[in-house]
Amino acid sequence: MSLIKVISSLSLILIGVIIFKIVLPPLNFPRNIPTIPFYVIFLPTLTKMDQIQLYELYLKEPLEKYGAVKVFFGARWNILVGRPEYLSEIFKKEDIFAKSGNQKKIPYSAIAAYTGDNIISAHGDVWKKYRGIMTTGLQQFDDTPFEKNAKLFVKLIRIKMSDIDKTTLTKTGIPMIPLIQRLALDNISQTLLGFNFGTLTNDCVPLHEHLIRIKRQIFQPLFLTFPFLDLLQLPQRKKAFSDIEQFRNILVDKVQTQLIENYEFEQTKYVSSDLIRSYTNNIINHKQLTDNVVIMLVAGHENPQLLLTSLLYFLAKYNNTWQKKIWNEVKDIIDTKDLASLPHLNSFILETTRMYPPLNIIINRCTSRKCRLGNDIVIPKNTYVGYHNYSATHNKNYWGDYADDFEPRRWGDDIESITKSWRHHKNNSSLSSFHGGKRACLGEKLALSEMRVTIWEVLKQFEITLASEWEDRVTPAGPLCPAGLQLNFIERK
């Protein structure tokens, strides 16, 4: 046999193995749960289908019937769970379903280079170390920037209104995503990181532009679906890695300069101050400092940005009902601390979190040994397991026959009942938007406070409606919120 034939045969075998690994799940995966066709993950990229439509067509029935499915994502087959009792089991058995973020799953990828090893993705003693350092700063924060920034956010809305002629404005409204991102960045930088990102007061902030650039590079669908392509050292990906490293260095330098050169890190309670103190005392190294500063910025602005987008959408959609109820409830409030006791406002926020959980599909746990999920789903060791939040928060066994309806009244009529219901659904994992168990989100309190203050300030100034030409649909994949939201704002008299 000639060398050419040998090479051709080996190439065909290699291609066959790759196709086999993509098309079919591993032979040791559980046989008693359905397999979602591998091509389903590509449909939002190839069509106008959004992720709720994708869920309804391909995932809802098998997840509701079996509680878990096999899905292809991130160049590997995974187990995806939707049944709340299975989520509770995963959250409870932290050592078996161990956190394993991108730094372990795909350490060669651009997204792993971006976020590194941090408090969200770390496991075991490393996570306990990070948690011990960062919990106080995440739980005891100064929320006074929220009100000031909400006023600046309103000012930006007015500027955008004046820049567009009235006829066009009525049809197209104001594109909200860029404005909401600017608000979220300033909120998190001033509350947790100890400096002002400056996006609400400046149209051009170099660090913000750098962030937008690297996010476009990181979240390219092809490289997210097949992250091993980053191993090829393509010129465009080399640039992406270089831009990411530069951004990380600039961000940490900015935090350190603000807190150390101004002698503030010893006196302040920012989570960044706690991280710097730990680095100074050799408890963590410089990479761990950087990884956790970056994740505070990433999670601290992206998740609130998604939730606020959904909140403004539902306020506009139900402007004649819930928007009026909340406006009547908040219009006489003077002290922002009183917002936490308002039934309509808080039940509306919780229902939005249930309807559109900001992070819909999360696959960041890896089995440390062969194990059993529920009574009969046997999962092999080193299998990645994730959960479908939208499936859990729309499960009719927990939320009733009207689980798909937006109904804030389901939470209760008074703040005590609402709070009790919130805790109940978090405990049984039917409300998994803030995760659960020992790894429940430490930023929940901050995010909810941020939402209350922003809604309060916006509704004091405007009545909100959906732009007539905006297409009502959610994002195609990844984070879940209305896609490209466009709103109209009417000044209150």
Phi and psi torsions of 225, nearest 5°: -75, -40
Cα separation, 134 vs 129, whole angstroms: 9
Q: How many CB atoms lie within 10 A of CB 139?
A: 13
- Say if residue 18's pLDDT is above 70: no
Each residue of 296-339: pLDDT tens digit? 999 999 999 999 999 999 999 999 999 999 999 999 999 999 99
- Say if residue 370's pLDDT is above 90: yes
Distance (Å) of CA 449 to CA 147, 348, 362, 407, 480: 10, 14, 24, 21, 20
Cα separation, 289 vs 84, whole angstroms: 35
CB-based contacts of 253, cutoff 8 Å, min separation 6: none
- Say if residue 15's pLDDT is above 80: no
Cα separation, 36 vs 25, whole angstroms: 10
Instruction: Give the pLDDT mean for 181-206.
Output: 93
Predicted confidence band of residue 56 (pLDDT cuts 50, 70, 90): very high
What pLDDT score does 222 carry? 82
What pLDDT score does 168 carry? 78
CA proximity to 55, closest of 64, 46, 165, 47: 64
Each residue of 332-354: pLDDT tens digit? 999 999 999 999 999 999 999 99
The domains located in the chain, with CATH, are 26-491 (1.10.630.10)
Predicted confidence band of residue 406 (pLDDT cuts 50, 70, 90): very high
- Say if residue 169's pLDDT is above 90: no
DSSP, collapsed to helix, strand or coil, labels residue 482 as: strand
Cα separation, 461 vs 465, whole angstroms: 13
- Say if residue 478's pLDDT is above 90: no
Predicted confidence band of residue 233 (pLDDT cuts 50, 70, 90): confident
CB-based contacts of 397, cutoff 8 Å, min separation 6: none
What pLDDT score does 454 carry? 97
Predicted confidence band of residue 380 (pLDDT cuts 50, 70, 90): very high
- Say if residue 172's pLDDT is above 90: no
**Best-predicted range by mean pLDDT among 243-257, 265-279, 309-323, 421-435?**
309-323
What pLDDT score does 2 carry? 67
Predicted confidence band of residue 221 (pLDDT cuts 50, 70, 90): confident
- Is 68 within 8 Å of 80 (Cβ atoms)? yes
Predicted confidence band of residue 159 (pLDDT cuts 50, 70, 90): very high
- Cα angle 481-202-151, degrees, rounded to a multiple of 5: 65
Cα separation, 25 vs 269, whole angstroms: 48
Predicted confidence band of residue 261 (pLDDT cuts 50, 70, 90): low
pTM of this structure: 0.93
Average pLDDT over the chain, rounded to an integer? 90
- Say if residue 264's pLDDT is above 60: no
Whole-number percent of the chain with pLDDT over 90: 75
What pLDDT score does 75 carry? 81
Instruction: Give the pLDDT mean for 261-269.
Output: 61
